[in-house]
Structure 1
């Protein structure tokens, strides 16, 4: 490819995508859509103009909107990424403008309420979803496409969900680098009550014990910090998450109390306690380690390449000749008209230099993790 040739990009899965709520997860989805060339245009919708300005300045979205309106009818993908407490209200605001042919999904951590609301609103193309990914650091500033990579992404269709909508949602999740898992909304909510919402309440209880005895804080080191990590999340968002799932969470709390009572009884039976310890170790050691991006997110450069021979070679040779050191390289999904490479470079300066070199060769590139 030369500077005279027009850049070739993969055919997008969606024309216009709207991410409603440009925070950590919404921003990460938007970045994934842009960097992997999954949408021709990504629009960020948020009531907070400061957030929108930051998202646009960071290259998270192509365009911004502060309110829903007729312009939404041009979108063929709509992602609801507001906090849990605002999610159903956002759905009601957007529903009158959504194109019936658009795929609509969300990223909330509780599925029963939003699934029922979208059915009530008559948005048939809605597929509720929950990417099992996150960070204690919130906001679009910390958004990263790599946050979603290799994450389990639960999709929770109802009996009225069209199979075509579910298939499109699965395709979206796979192309964002995540692993789709399908289950009913109530099954999802019962499971996350145990593996996500219960640990949050347990972390609160432990940290409250330390807060009420300053001697404990002197001894609360690495292990205690690791165990209570989720207590560092946004308090309001965490509160809304557990309250939204309170019925399933009460059941999980009942089971947890029984486990604690059993372990308390085992204090008088060392052999039973040892057996419980072995079971705990086996279970903990068998949990999968989720590896996110193989590359440092801050120093990534994504390059669109045509689906023809020697394109990887053309990219690496151009950068090698300019003494740009490629630390890692990953081939992203190949689609009609081409695919994309992600390059891991040594510094932001090298990303900028490599981008300029490859653009001069006729390649289309996108940066930021």
Structure 2
């Protein structure tokens, strides 16, 4: 016969709370629902939650986070990164038994907040998945299948909780990688955040000039596709990863200055090497990812 504590955990076992039903939060909700979990959700956009309830993805709408009960095995914070800490502060005052995690593209600020406030049931997370689309209407249940999903455990986390989160993410098809939160922010700065800044710069160079826009073909559209992502999300990411990005931008500027100097000097060999090295690295990245 189950004792009282065991009954509490049995009740919690299949309940998941998702705060923020955008592309990522909505896709998580759909993936968890598909795997048999009971999903509850909160979002300032009531239409998103109501749509998810109509579709049978979400069972219950949480009107106010102040009313959250300690009944969830996992709670996912899926809001822009500059809003995540405020949500974590609210949830951690209510949820003591279950695991709280987030999906933010930067980890240092929220992990350091958790350390400072001894929120031992918070484990940082970040799925390396998404599209240029935003909103619940573009979410789908296979978004995370085969995708890398970073988690950034802290010394204050219980190892059993880390394993529980890993197991959950494996269920929806993620390739889970444990990583230090500072290293995470450097990696994502290089492979995700700086490319978004560069992509936006290329588009902004068009300045809505109709003749440029008219002839922008496949190559330009491919390299700038990510510029259609949420401006709010990327402004928040830029400020939350400010230190890393300032260093990377300087390095990128140095590369362009060096290229410009070689072009001005008619230094064909160095220009050729610039493109040759890029092709070699890019081909290896594509080959390794197959």
Instruction: Settle same-fold status: TM greater than 0.5.
Output: yes
Q: Which has the larger radius of gyration?
A: 1
Aligned residue in 2 for 1:24: 23
> Structure 1: which 5+ runs fail to align?
1-10, 292-369
Shift of 1:164: 1.7
1:279 to 277, 280, 283: 277
Shift of 1:34: 1.1
TM-score of the superposed pair, with normalisation by structure 2 = 0.89
The alignment covers a number of residue pairs equal to 278
The 8 Å contact of residues 126 and 165 in structure 1, kept in 2 or not, is answered as no
Higher strand share: 1
Aligned residue in 2 for 1:269: 267
Aligned residue in 2 for 1:231: 227
Aligned residue in 1 for 2:154: 158
The 8 Å contact of residues 39 and 59 in structure 2, kept in 1 or not, is answered as yes
| Cα distance between partner residues in 2 of 1:165 and 1:214 | 54
3-state SS in 2 of match to 1:240: helix
Give the CA RMSD over aligned residues.
2.1
> Structure 2: which 5+ runs fail to align?
1-9
1:334-363 deviations in Å (ceiling 9; x for gaps): xxxxxxxxxxxxxxxxxxxxxxxxxxxxxx
| Cα distance between partner residues in 1 of 2:32 and 2:19 | 14
| Cα distance between partner residues in 2 of 1:188 and 1:109 | 9
> Does the C-alpha gap of structure 1 residues 155 and 221 become closer, same or farther in structure 2, counting only changes over 3 Å?
same
Shift of 1:33: 0.9
Shift of 1:212: 6.1
| Cα distance between partner residues in 1 of 2:104 and 2:236 | 11
Shift of 1:60: 2.4
TM-score of the superposed pair, with normalisation by structure 1 = 0.71
> Does the C-alpha gap of structure 1 residues 250 and 12 become closer, same or farther in structure 2, counting only changes over 3 Å?
farther
Aligned residue in 2 for 1:33: 32
Higher helix share: 2
Shift of 1:118: 2.2
Shift of 1:193: 1.1
1:205 to 201, 204, 212: 201
3-state SS in 2 of match to 1:149: coil
Which of 262-271 and 124-133 deviates more? 262-271
3-state SS in 1 of match to 2:143: helix
